[in-house]
Every structure is written in C-alpha cells, then in structure tokens.
Chain A
Amino acid sequence: MSEPKSRNLTLSQRGMNFEMLMWLFTRLSALAMYALILFGLIGALIMGARNQMNFADVMRWAFMPNVTHVQSTNVPDLAPWASIFWKLTGCALVLVAVAHGVHGLVVIADDYIKSARGRQISRLLSIVFMLLMMGIGLYIIWTS
C-alpha cells in the first residue's frame, strides 16, 4: 500500500495527461472518420456512382476521396470529383487518419517496449513519421 489508489485522488490528480487525451482522441477521431467516409460515400452516389462505378471503386473513393481513385472507372466527367471541396475533405481524412493510425502504432509498440527511454524514442520516431506521412498525403491530394 505505498501508492495511492486512483479512486482516492481528485480528477486533476488522476488524469488529464497527454496519454488520456490521446485515448480520447482515438475514439473521437474514429467517429470523425465514420462521418467523413459516409460523407464521401453519399457524395459519390450523388455524383452518379451507382451507374458508373463498381463496388470496389466506390469503396476506394469513400475511404479516400481523391480523384485518382475514380480515374479507372466509367465516370464521364472527372471535374466534380476533383473539386476543391473534395480536396479539403480528403485533407481532413488524411490528417485524422494518419494521426489515429500512428497513435495506434505507438500503442502497439508500448506493448513491447517497456523502458522509459525506449518509449521516448518510439514517440519521437512516431512524431517524425506522422509529420512525414501527413506531408506526403497532402502533397498527393493537391498535386493529383
């Protein structure tokens, strides 16, 4: 009985640290991704995906509304699919998804890396990796 039980501590003593916020972020970003994917799916159906795309193409578009994902389909006019509107939606999805995914990798790494130093290194690497993938993602969206 050296350490106090968390139930005896006040809320501010218990938590509200970075890890707790990331735990919450993982849940909230998941909800945001459901919304964005549904948004892309509905947008594709409004733009005529029902008659011009197969199931795999619709899924590809929904999970990442980037115009290169509909280039191989029967869609006659790609202009509405390449609009600023969808580029911004794609940016939102990339930023949220990369942050969510990289944090997931850190959680997995924490199951195998126990030392404080090792966890520091894994976090540092994850931040570098996250910024890199975000940059690449945004570059692809705005140049495609």
Chain B
Amino acid sequence: MGLKRNVSLMTGLRYKGQGPMLTYVLHRIGGLGMAIFITIHMLSSFLGGKGGAFVNTIYENWIFQIFIFFCVLFHAINGLRITILDLFPKLIEHSREAIWIEWAIFLPTYGIAVLAIISTALGG
C-alpha cells in the first residue's frame, strides 16, 4: 500500500507546519484545480456538443471564476517564490520573509480581481 505512513492520521492533522505548510497545501490544491479544470475545458471544447455547452455554463459562473483565479494566481505567485528560492539557494535563509512578501503581493492582487469579477457579475 502506497499510503502506509509511520504517522497516524490524527498526528498528521495535528501537524502545524504553519506558513510553509499552508503554501504547500494551497500550491497543490491550485495545481490540481488547474490541471482538472484545463483538462475538462480542453476536452469539452474538443468534443463540443451538449456536454461541452453544459461545461461552459459552469466555468462562466462567477463563483467558479473566483475559485479558479485563486488557483491560478496563488500557484503563479507561490511558484515564483519557489523558483527564485530554488535558483538562488542563498536566499533560502529568508524563506519565511519570502512567504510574507508573497502574501503581501497575493492578497491585494487577488482582492482586486475578486472585486472586478463580482462587480462584472452584478453589473452585467
């Protein structure tokens, strides 16, 4: 069994990895979300028909747009942090500060985007 671990599930849930752990989890959620969405999106526009039209209505929904934009933007900004820290290993000393900078960039950018998406959805 690939899932066998030396720690119990409860220990895993109680693990407090704090900032780095949170970015890792969100990076994975964002990557998986994008991979699933883009696969479905490409298949639906390739196959077309009724199924494709139905899928279209889902991702033209503004709630879905807020979710997928979170995936994309967080994955992009967190990926940039990982890329910079990995390509310049000396900076790994400042990895905690890098996460703070990342949130300082992500939150306003995402906030503005969500505002734009909601105001477009409400204003037509």
- Chains A and B belong together in one complex: yes
Which stretch of B13-21, B72-80, B89-97, B100-108 is in the interface?
B72-80
Q: Which of A66-106 contact B (CB under 8 A)?
A: 68, 97, 101-102, 104-105
Main secondary structure of the interface of A (DSSP, over half): helix
Cα A114 to Cα B82 with chains together (Å): 25
The reply to whether A133 and B2 form a contact with Cβ atoms under 8 Å apart is no
Shortest Cβ distance from B63 into chain A, in angstroms? Answer: 13
The reply to whether B83 and A27 form a contact with Cβ atoms under 8 Å apart is yes
Shortest Cβ distance from A103 into chain B, in angstroms? Answer: 10
The reply to whether A27 and B42 form a contact with Cβ atoms under 8 Å apart is no
| Given known A-B contacts A105-B35, A108-B28, A54 and B42 have beta carbons under 8 A apart | no
Cα A137 to Cα B83 with chains together (Å): 26
B32 at the A/B interface (Cβ < 8 Å)? yes
B117 at the A/B interface (Cβ < 8 Å)? yes
Cα A68 to Cα B45 with chains together (Å): 10
Report chain B residues within 8 Å CB of A11: none
Main secondary structure of the interface of B (DSSP, over half): helix
Q: Out of B32, B46, B72, B79, which one reaches A136, CB within 8 Å?
A: B46
B87 at the A/B interface (Cβ < 8 Å)? yes
Cα A34 to Cα B3 with chains together (Å): 35
B34 at the A/B interface (Cβ < 8 Å)? yes
The reply to whether B120 and A27 form a contact with Cβ atoms under 8 Å apart is no
Report chain B residues within 8 Å CB of A114: 2
The reply to whether B2 and A113 form a contact with Cβ atoms under 8 Å apart is yes
Residues of A within 8 A of B (CB): 27, 30-31, 33-34, 54-56, 59, 63, 68, 97, 101-102, 104-105, 108, 112-115, 118, 133, 136-137, 139-140
